[in-house]
Amino acid sequence: MDFTVSEKLQTILGMMKEFVQKELIPMEYELATKGFGAMLPEIEEKRNMVRQMELWAPLHPKEYGGMGLGLMENAMIFEVLGGTPLGLYAFGCQAPDAGNIEILYKYGNEEQKETYCRPNVEGKIRSCFSMTEVEVAGSNPTWLLTTAVKDGSDYVINGHKWYTSCADGAEFAIVMAETNPEAESPHRKASMIIVPSDTPGYNIVRNISVMGHVGDGWASHAEILYQNCRVPLENNLGGEGMGFVLAQERLGPGRIHHCMRWVGICNRCFDLMCSYANKRPRTPNEVLGDSDIIKMYIADCAAEILAARLMVLNTAWIIQNQGVKAAMKDISMIKFFVANVLQKVVDTALQVHGGLGMTDDTPIAMYYRGERAARIYDGPDEVHKLSVARRILREYPVEKF
């Protein structure tokens, strides 16, 4: 396994680190206190600067204006850009657009690619992914109550979704709905359907308040009602009954992106913690960093961040060289392991900062509030642990007594 960083990628990472430090980190306080919408004109200026640097959309196809870099390269890029809440958006590789673009490019027809994929890559529009439902387990894409029933040349969609991230201001949603209720396999019941947000019957109920914070625009999570929402059959993405397959294709590389973004958050919080420990007075003659307790915090976090990073890079290498199926166990392992490392590092950094850590004077509170969900979305810890254990036990003979 070769994790060598090419000279070209070293240059790209260096430019991105400098941009994050000089252009994005100074905007974080206003983002936390004013919200995404109020900051959008300034954020768009930064995005234009990224375009001029020719660093736009690193993981998307060159033919649509992206950089077309591979999974291993993008893993390291996401680590750098994860060091600020604005990093991925500023460089045009934010979720859920990234995953939507990936499946549109791979499975969409030419009309879908030109109408939805190209402008999404170019950053002219945003999109959302609408799968999680209120009444059933969000971790189970084979069990959906939202239906898409054929009526002539249309689907009529009815259902209740929530945590449709970034729906506020999105041009379209990719909706998971049951189209084939009679299918023998539960994995062939659902389809993905493109729904423009101006379609009658597509109703955003609210942006959900998450831990006391109601986001807006890209930084939001919407509750949506689909009420006799009618779209053409041609809006099916990838074929009827392919929803589960596309979801798995989308989530494999997507978890690499998430996990490396989390490693980036860990790095940022670790840097803040160490810097603060070396300057915050503990006594008239000592700083926090002189405390053995703080030293143990730092050592534990350093080891766990390194372990998490190497696990994710190893999984990315397997996906890139052997495919998603070969990495299913590893994908689940990094999902719960890195999410828990993230929780520990952010919490430890907040603890070391004391009262300052509770304020929005640093990004730690924003991370603490926003990233607790890492152990829940894309499948909760418990689901992934059970999956890993089942896959491991299959490798051993079953002995019956």
Residue 300: both structure tokens together: 């534990």
**Would you say the pTM of this structure is higher than 0.85?**
yes
Say whether both 206 and 336 belong to one domain. no
Backbone torsion region of residue 193, taken as left when φ is above 0, otherwise alpha when ψ lies between -120 and 50, otherwise beta? beta
Boundary (domain end) residue, out of 211, 241, 271: 241
245-293 residue pLDDT tens: 998 887 778 899 999 999 999 999 999 999 999 999 999 999 999 999 9
182-218 residue pLDDT tens: 999 999 999 999 999 999 999 999 999 998 889 899 9
| Strand residue runs (E) in 263-388 | 281-283, 286-287
Boundary (domain end) residue, out of 184, 219, 241: 241
Say whether both 254 and 384 belong to one domain. yes
Q: Assess if residue 110 is contained within a domain.
A: no
Alpha-carbon separation of residue 239 from 98, 177, 242 (angstroms): 21, 13, 6
**Which DSSP string corresponds to 56-101?**
S-TTS-GGGTS----HHHHHHHHHHHTTSTTHHHHTT--TTHHHHH
208-221 residue pLDDT tens: 999 888 989 999 99
The separation between the first and the last C-alpha atoms of the chain, rounded to the nearest angstrom, is 41
Q: Assess if residue 253 is contained within a domain.
A: yes
Instruction: Give the HSE-up count for residue 117: Cα atoms under 13 Å, Cβ half-sphere.
Output: 24
Say whether both 278 and 291 belong to one domain. yes
Domain with residue 294: its CATH number is: 1.20.140.10
Task: Report yes or no: 376 and 382 within 8 Å, Cβ to Cβ.
Answer: no
Q: Assess if residue 401 is contained within a domain.
A: no
Instruction: Give the HSE-up count for residue 188: Cα atoms under 13 Å, Cβ half-sphere.
Output: 4
Task: Report yes or no: 70 and 51 within 8 Å, Cβ to Cβ.
Answer: no
Rg (CA), the chain: 22
Domain extent at residue 87:
7-94
